[in-house]
Structures are given as C-alpha cells and as structure tokens.
C-alpha cells in the first residue's frame, strides 16, 4: 500500500512538472508571435508567465545591440514604473537619491547593504509588475527594465563585497558599480579620499567572482574611479584626469576566472567638460578598445553654464565609446520640482490648485494622472476575479479614478 502511494506521488509530481512545461511552452508561443494573446484580461492573467531570463542577461543584450543605453536615476518602485511608461529600457538606483529621499540626509553611507538590497528587490519587482500589467491590460509583451545599482565602496572588505553582490543578484539586479573611495560619499562632494588601486581591484575581483560562482556570468560590473576629483590619494599626488586614466587602466587589466573582471569603466568627472571626458575616454580605449564606458551626466553639473555650450549629444558620447549613460538624481530633481510647484500653488490658491494639477497631468500624459494606472490596480482586480474573490472584480475597475471611487456606494 505504501509503495503504491509513493508511486502515485511520483507520478503526480511528474505530471505537474509536465503541465508546467506545457504552460511555459504555450506562453513562449505567444512571445514569439505564433499564438495570439487571450481575448480577455482574465485569460491573459491566467496564461501570463514571467520571463525566465535574469535581468543581467537582458542588460547585456541591450548593451550589445543598442548604440547606448540611458537610465534615469531613481530611488523607489514608483519611479521604476514611471520610467518604464516613459519608454526607458533600463533603470538606475542612485545612492544619493535613496539617501535623501528615504533617510532625509546626504549620501555619506547612511544605509546598510541589506537595506540597499531590499530596496533594489522592490524596484525589480515593480518592473516585473509593470510587464505583467501591460500584458494583462493590453496584451502587450514588454521587457523588464534591468536595474543598475550603486554598490558604493562595496560596504567593506571583500567579504562584504561578496555578500552585497550575492544579495543584489538574488534580488534580480542586472548590474552594479563599485567606486575606489576609502569611505562612501557622493562623487561630487569635496574631500574625497581614494584607496590604493590594489584595494579597489580586490573589491572588483570579489564581486566578479561571486557573480560567476553563483552562475550569473552576465552580471554587468562597472568600475568607477573618483581619482579625477580626489583630495587625498595613496599616490601622493593631487587628483587629476591623468590619475583617473592610470587607475582605470589598472582596473581594466584585472582578470579572474579567465576573463576581465569589469564590463564597463566609469570616471566621476568634476564637470561636463567635453575635453576632459574625451581625453579620459580616448586614453582608456587606446589600450582597451573593446571596453565599453559609462558616464554620469550628473545633476551636480551646471547644465546652464554656457562655457560648455553647445551641448554634446548622447550620440556623440556613444561615438566615444560610452554605452551606459545615466543621470543619478533625475527623478529626485524633476519629481521634487513638480511637487514644489504644486505645494506653492496650494499655499497661494488653496483648492483651486487641485484642478490645475489635474489639467497639467492630462496635458502631459503622465500615467500618474491615474494613480490606479501607476499602481496596476486593474491587474490586481483582474487577479481577484480569476481567484474567485467577491470583493475584487475586474469590471469595477473599468472607469476613471473618480468613477471607481463611487463603485459600490449608495447614491
């Protein structure tokens, strides 16, 4: 009797595995355009499956295919969704943005590596949710936004670097950058001190090794140098672009597991000078022509300074070898400016500011015009219908936010 029960249990597990494979193959046919999506939102919810590819592979494919990839600097899950709606193909978790927006302080190492990994996981999930929402609500198949994370100085010795790398990869992070400072601070704050190049190489090798040993060979590792603007250096010289070149070349030569440790190189520049940017890029690529570069088009720069006009373009940067471009505090500056304008209007005009805001939202086309759109509430209610919930019904969500608020209430 016991043998027969054991045999039945094995048979059920095999059948369950077979059914799972069949569902995966069925949705793969939808992805490849061989089968049309289900006709209803409920049907699409049932058949949807998240892609089985790690975000690091998605980012690596983008870097290989696109002339360049631009990612706005974000700090939370809502920002990731907004970036996805805006059409960006990647996202960036900025250390400074997270410090000021979630802790209310400057970027001087105020949060732990565990907290950083938790926030990254939320942002990765938000991207996944957006992918599901687009399919369930519209039948559109989209790619998630691979997330690049500010790993700062690695949060300690090589053991801490390994621990952080593991946590980020388990969270679904696609890439990370490690800087050569002695202690964490924003790259545009004064008084920076950098570690010996050997210490930075140790950090980079630890991160690369941990990713490879976990089987995430596509994890994109970015080496950042702060040597251009350092006040104190182990070399005993003032920080300069030439020192940044020397540091970058050493990091690019570092190898482990029969491969170069880093995938991109980044110099934190003091301003947006085209001459400094191209000088560093050309010196680095003279020795490592196959090494892609990254650049922070920082909010700390004065982009109105006419000394740097005419402004260069993304395409010009790509021609110089820059494949990953980003603005660290993009969401912080633009989002806070919008909130500031609204808050001032409320103070001046009271309730009259409310319709003015909604008109601006309608004119801009922002998905946050409907907070339910940004939150994916329709997909949530569709799931409720599929699960048999009597209180979450997909039909209740087919209206505007104001109309939805009245559903189920007395007249």
Largest CA distance in the chain: 86
Residue-wise DSSP of 277-297: HHHHHHHHHHH-TT--EEEE-
Find out whether 59 and 90 touch, Cβ atoms under 8 Å: yes
186 is catalytic: yes
Query: Where are the alpha helices (H) located in 48-112, listed in sequence order?
Result: 55-65, 77-86, 95-98
How would you label 89-110 residue by residue, b for 16+ Cβ within 10 Å and e otherwise?
A: bbbbbbbbbbbbbeeeeebeeb
Provide Rg for the chain, Cα atoms: 24
Q: Name the active-site residue from 74, 186, 265, 317.
A: 186
How far is 133 from 381, CA to CA, in rounded Å?
A: 11
Q: If 0-12 CB within 10 Å is exposed, 13-18 middle and 19+ buried, where does residue 83 land?
A: buried
Q: What are 359's two structure tokens?
A: 């008109």
Find out whether 244 and 267 touch, Cβ atoms under 8 Å: yes
Find out whether 199 and 184 touch, Cβ atoms under 8 Å: no
How far is 126 from 387, CA to CA, in rounded Å?
A: 22
Residue-wise DSSP of 314-370: HHHHHHTTEEEEEETTHHHHHHHHHHHHHHHHHHHHGGGHHHHHHHHHHHHT-GGGS
Q: Give which of 201, 290, 206 is closest to 248, Cα–Cα.
A: 201
DSSP H or E stretch at residue 132: helix 113-138
How far is 194 from 184, CA to CA, in rounded Å?
A: 10
Find out whether 228 and 244 touch, Cβ atoms under 8 Å: yes
Would you please indicate which residues are annotated as catalytic (active-site) residues?
A: 186
């Amino acid at each position: 009797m016991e043998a027969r029960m054991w045999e039945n249990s094995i048979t059920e597990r095999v059948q369950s595995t077979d059914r799972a494979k069949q569902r995966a193959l069925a949705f793969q046919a939808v992805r490849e355009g061989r089968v049309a999506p289900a006709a209803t939102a409920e049907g699409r919810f049932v058949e949807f499956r998240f892609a089985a590819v790690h975000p690091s592979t998605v980012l690596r494919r983008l870097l290989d295919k696109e002339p360049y990839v631009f990612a706005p600097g974000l700090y939370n899950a809502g920002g990731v969704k907004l970036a996805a709606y805006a059409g960006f193909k990647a996202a960036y978790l900025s250390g400074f943005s997270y410090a000021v927006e979630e802790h209310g302080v400057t970027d001087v190492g105020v949060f732990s590596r565990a907290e950083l990994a938790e926030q990254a996981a939320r942002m990765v999930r938000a991207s996944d949710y957006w992918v599901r929402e687009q399919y369930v609500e519209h039948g559109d198949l989209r790619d998630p936004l691979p997330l690049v994370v500010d790993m700062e100085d690695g949060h300690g010795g090589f053991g801490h670097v390994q621990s952080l790398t593991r946590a980020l990869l388990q969270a679904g992070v696609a890439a990370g950058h490690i800087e050569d400072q002695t202690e964490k601070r924003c790259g545009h704050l004064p008084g920076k001190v950098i570690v010996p190049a050997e210490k930075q190489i140790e950090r980079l090798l630890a991160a690369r090794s941990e990713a490879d040993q976990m089987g995430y060979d596509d994890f994109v590792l970015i080496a950042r140098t702060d040597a251009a603007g350092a006040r104190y250096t182990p070399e005993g010289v003032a920080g300069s672009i030439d020192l940044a070149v020397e540091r970058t070349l050493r990091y690019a030569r570092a190898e482990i597991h029969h491969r170069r440790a880093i995938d991109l190189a980044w110099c934190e520049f003091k301003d947006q000078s085209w001459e400094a940017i191209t000088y560093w890029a050309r010196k680095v690529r003279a020795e490592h022509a196959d090494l892609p570069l990254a650049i922070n088009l920082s909010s700390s720069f004065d982009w109105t300074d006419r000394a740097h006009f005419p402004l260069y373009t993304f395409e010009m940067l790509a021609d110089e070898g820059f494949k990953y471009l980003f603005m660290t505090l993009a969401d912080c500056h633009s989002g806070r400016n919008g909130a500031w304008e609204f808050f001032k209007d409320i103070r001046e005009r009271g309730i009259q500011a409310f319709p003015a805001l909604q008109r601006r939202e309608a004119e801009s086309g922002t998905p946050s015009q409907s907070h339910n759109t940004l939150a994916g509430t329709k997909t949530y209610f569709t799931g409720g219908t599929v699960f048999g919930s009597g209180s979450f019904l997909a039909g209740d969500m087919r209206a505007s936010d104001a109309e939805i608020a009245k559903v189920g209430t007395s007249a």
